[in-house]
Amino acid sequence: MKSIFAFTIAAALLLPCTASAARPANIANTTWTLQVNHDVAQLFIDTQGGPGAPGANVCRHITGNLNGIADIRGWYCPSSGRIHFVHTNADNEDFVVRVFTGHVSDAVNGEPLQMAGTATVLISAFGDLGEYNFSATAD
């Protein structure tokens, strides 16, 4: 009897639980403190496209800027949290200087959103060429 009770308790503890957190559906109008390697910048994501736009079946187009100067553009996938954006030259939007690929955290009540991944530096004005870590916290 004692072993059946212990088994019942153990089985109940192993049952899958429903997660209460999920990735944010929309990250438009969010401001982030972004750290790339040893540099800190402000990332502002001002727009996010919606479903139904060309190419937006799963992921959504995003735009914004870094430090209010240089534009960023890319995409965000609400279902997986995957994010990818390019930082373009302030004088020439077609000239990419860095590429960011990472994930946005689950939205948890009372906690700021987090983002982390890899930043690739393509132009030496932004540090030594190569790949570096990046992380960001929503303000």
**Mean per-residue pLDDT over the chain, rounded:** 87
- Cα–Cα–Cα angle for 67, 107, 105, rounded to 5 degrees: 65
Which residue would you say has higher pLDDT here, 125 or 14? 125
Per-residue pLDDT tens digits for 91-137: 887 899 999 999 999 999 999 999 999 999 999 988 899 999 999 99
pLDDT digits (tens, 9 = 90+) for 70-95: 999 999 999 999 999 999 988 887 89
**pLDDT at 123 (0 to 100):** 92
Domains of the chain plus CATH, in order, are 2-138 (2.40.128.30)
Q: State the pLDDT at residue 53.
A: 75
Q: pTM for this structure?
A: 0.82
Which of the four pLDDT bands, split at 50, 70 and 90, describes residue 44? Answer: very high
* CA 113 to each of CA 33, 77, 108: distance values in angstroms, whole numbers, following the listed order: 11, 15, 8
Residue 20's pLDDT band (boundaries 50, 70, 90)? Answer: low
Predicted local distance difference test score (pLDDT) of residue 91? 85
Alpha helix segments (H runs only) across 15-136? none
Quote the CA–CA distance of 50 and 60 in Å, as a whole number.
Answer: 6
